[in-house]
Copies of this chain bind each other. A is one copy, B any other.
Amino acid sequence: MNISLEQAEAIIDAAKLKAAELDTKMNICVVDTGANIVAFARMDGAWLGSADIAQKKAKTAVWFTMDTAALSPLVQPGEPLFNIEHSNGGLITFPGGVVIKNSGGDMIGAIGVSGSTVDNDHEVAAAGAASL
C-alpha cells in the first residue's frame, strides 16, 4: 500500500509536463506513507529555496493525510492550528502538497510542488497525483 519508485517517477514526469504547460519551473517531491522521500526533481532554473518547500509540502500532506490547501485556513491567526508550522522540523501549510491515492482510494503517498504561485503549485501537484 506504499508508492513505488516507478510510480513516483511517473508522477514526477506528469508533474513536469504540467509545469511546462504552465510555463513554470518547479521543484517536485514524492514521499511515501511514512513521509519519507521517494523521488525528487528540480527543473532547470527553478528556485533553489523551493526544493525544501516541495519536500515539506509533501511530508505535511502525509503527516495529516490531507492536501496542504486544506490546512491553509486552519493555520491563520485566531484559527485552531495557528503556528502548527513549528512542529516536525517545519511544516509548509499553503497549497502545493497533495495526497496520492491508489485506485481503491487509499493514500499511498503525497506529492509536493513549489516554484510558482501557490495556485500553479497546487495545479501541478494535483496533475501529478491524478496521473497515477
Contacts and interface: CB of A to CB of B under 8 A. Distances in A.
Can you tell how many copies of this chain the complex includes?
Answer: 4
Contacts of A9: 41
Contacts of A91: 49, 83, 86
Interface residues of A, number: 55
A33 B36 contact: no
Nearest to A61: B49
Interface string A46-57: 011111110010
Contact of A77 (B8, B40, B44, B76): B76
A85 to B, nearest CB: 4
A48 B76 contact: no
Interface in A1-31: 4-6, 8-9
Interface of A: 4-6, 8-9, 32-44, 47-53, 56, 59-60, 62-65, 72, 75-78, 80-95, 117-118
Closest CB pairs A-B (n = 5): A34-B34, A49-B63, A40-B40, A86-B90, A85-B86
